[in-house]
Amino acid sequence: MKARLERIDKITDGVVSFSFSASKILQYTAGQFIEMYLPDNTPDSRGPKRWFTLSSSPTEDLLTITTKFADKNSSDFKHHLHTLVIGDEIEISEAMGDFVLPKDATLPLIFIAGGIGVTPYRSIIKWLNDTKELRDIKVLLAANTEQDIVFADTFAEYGDKPIEIVSSPSPGWNGEVGRLTAERIIELVGPITNQRIYISGPEQMVEALQKGLLEHGLHESQLVGDFFPGYPADLT
């Protein structure tokens, strides 16, 4: 279906949100993703389409994606995306994916995000805020610098302030410091028993954390992963 660009919001120096109106109503569940096609884009080796998680909630009027843009590391597709202006039209697919809330609302959850992997959680938490549905959720946000942490205010509006961990902080940073490992996750969130752990971020990070948590005795059924291709583990 066609989608018209309605808004561009600069979240940080390197993170931008693009909001679209669709040519027909898009039914989706918070946490799902869409496939995007940019007309007139010269495809690179990965082809003319990309998948983007919707950072918007189904309770919002516009469909929003939020992406990280780095001059030296971004793909040709990303560069073309950042040349769009208000009113431009693109093609998007129906929403898909199962990185969504479990049906059992009593199940305690842990949301772990590496950098731009925060986007599905923004969609989910915004939906929970708007629908007034209460769930037991702990949020852990990991980033290279504190400037890379986005949407923290949305999470704080829902429940406890998210735990923020930064690998390369500024001298004035007073929060948690370091890189995420399974051991550090357990240290930060406490004992993990029956919780379901959602992990979203660069593919290598998601795989490493899942492997580490399994080695610490968690069951595969407790882990739900959503990886973002094209981001190296140290570019979160």
- Is it true that domain 109-228 has CATH number 3.40.50.970? no
Query: Sheet containing 15-22: which strands, arranged edge to edge?
Result: 49-53, 33-37, 89-92, 2-10, 15-22, 63-68
Who wins on pLDDT, 227 or 157? 157
- CATH code of domain 2-92: 2.40.30.10
**pLDDT level of residue 41 (50, 70, 90 thresholds):** low
Give mean pLDDT, residues 154-173. Answer: 91
How far, rounded to the nearest angstrom, does the alpha carbon of residue 130 sit from its chain's CA centroid? 19
Cβ(120)–Cβ(31) below 8 Å? yes
- Summarised one tens digit per residue, pLDDT across range 116-153 is 999 999 999 999 999 999 999 999 999 999 989 999 88
Kindly list the domain boundaries of the chain, sorted by start residue.
2-92, 109-228
Give mean pLDDT, residues 80-84. Answer: 88
* pLDDT at 235 (0 to 100): 38
Percent of the chain with pLDDT over 70: 91
